[in-house]
Amino acid sequence: MVAERLHPWLEVEPYTVSVDEYRFFRREGYLVVRGLVQPEHVAELREHTEAILSGREDLSGHIHRKGDEKPDPTDVHRIHQGHEKIELWERYLLYPRVLDVVEALTGPDIMAMQTMLFTKAPGSNGQGFHQDTFYIPTFPDSLLGAWIAIDPADKENGCLWITPGTQTEPVYPPESGYGHGDRSLGGIELVSNVGGHSNDDEDPLNTLKPIAERYKEREVAVEVDPGDVVFFGGHVLHRSLKNRTTDRYRRSFVNHYANARSFTVWGGGNGAHILARGDTHLEYAIPRFGTPCAALDPERGSGISEVPDMMMATPMGTMAAQEPGGDHED
């Protein structure tokens, strides 16, 4: 593999997704893989985050703060698209063991689209119910989030809450217009304040709340340890509540991916996003810092004339990329 030849630090043990894990993801809409990111790599992410919070690392232009025009560095809330500026971010966007799981869930052709770092300091607000595909549409619809825990995350410090089963819901459009909602669905509900602050279970302003209420008994608090990764589909309703602690951050590094054969206009279109694995007939970006991936693989084909591989179950009970084949008659 190219990554193993060029970057010794990437010589991590590959992760093989089991058929049972694949079934769970399809049934519930999410999957937690424990210890997927190795401890020394979590430590690197944590050290980098602390450098940002202390002001030693400059990510100006990518930082979303909580309010003041000139806040101090500790007022960082979210950092967006840091892989465009920092080599470390690009490496963790293209982290092989994360891509192993993405490959099994979305198919072997992977487009790496987005990076975010959430710091969630003590006392920080949560984020209300939302669906990621509302913000990042792909056609066909194949968006997948990967939420990497840097700190322990639990109910007290504002862990992720996921509502299983909502992967079957459509993406709900905003009151101001259809946006990326489906115009062909009659009776679809319009929503407002999607993803707004959420500090208690009532969350009255977010009008996705009534939709989530249909699944209330299934909602789960996803409590994780450093190095655990939560994968969830773009339609899944999820949220977080307030960090109620006085001394614990809840930091996480969050990536978004899609099948590389899906079209998108988000973030500059396909040509702005890295071909992480596999192939595509669409435009793609080269990693700015040279992190090994399919876009840099000299052995990769053109993709235009090839039939894409599919993820299939193997006799060993695992998922693997295989060529579709064989005659079929209905």
Q: Can you tell me the mean pLDDT for 92-105?
A: 98
Q: Is residue 323 part of a domain?
A: no
> Where is 43: in which H helix or E strand?
helix 39-53
pLDDT score recorded for residue 228: 99
Residue 59 structural domain: 2-299
pLDDT at 67 over 80: no
Q: Is residue 314 part of a domain?
A: no
- 200 band by pLDDT with thresholds 50, 70 and 90: low
Q: Give the Cβ contact number of residue 133 at 10 Å.
A: 23
> Alpha-carbon torsion 140, 216, 31, 98, what sign?
positive
Considering its fold, how many domains does the chain have in total? 1
Q: Can you tell me the mean pLDDT for 218-238?
A: 98
pTM: 0.86
Contact 166, 212 (CB under 8 A): yes
- 55 band by pLDDT with thresholds 50, 70 and 90: confident
Q: Percentage of residues in the chain with pLDDT exceeding 70?
A: 77
Question: Of 181, 168, 190, which is closest to residue 236 (Cα–Cα)?
Answer: 168
Q: Is residue 315 part of a domain?
A: no
Q: Is residue 259 part of a domain?
A: yes
Q: Can you tell me the mean pLDDT for 84-91?
A: 94
Residues 282, 29, 32, CA angle at the centre, nearest 5°?
100
pLDDT score recorded for residue 320: 79
Q: Is residue 324 part of a domain?
A: no
CA separation for the pair 272, 304 (Å, rounded): 19
- 178 band by pLDDT with thresholds 50, 70 and 90: low
pLDDT at 63 over 70: no
Q: What is the CATH number of the domain that holds 21?
A: 2.60.120.620
Q: Is residue 305 part of a domain?
A: no
Q: Is residue 308 part of a domain?
A: no
Contact 239, 166 (CB under 8 A): no
CA separation for the pair 266, 16 (Å, rounded): 30
pLDDT at 150 over 50: yes
pLDDT at 180 over 60: no
Q: Is residue 42 part of a domain?
A: yes
- 195 band by pLDDT with thresholds 50, 70 and 90: low
Looking up tokens 């119910």 gives 129
Question: Which has the minimum average pLDDT: 18-22, 60-64, 148-152, 281-285?
Answer: 60-64
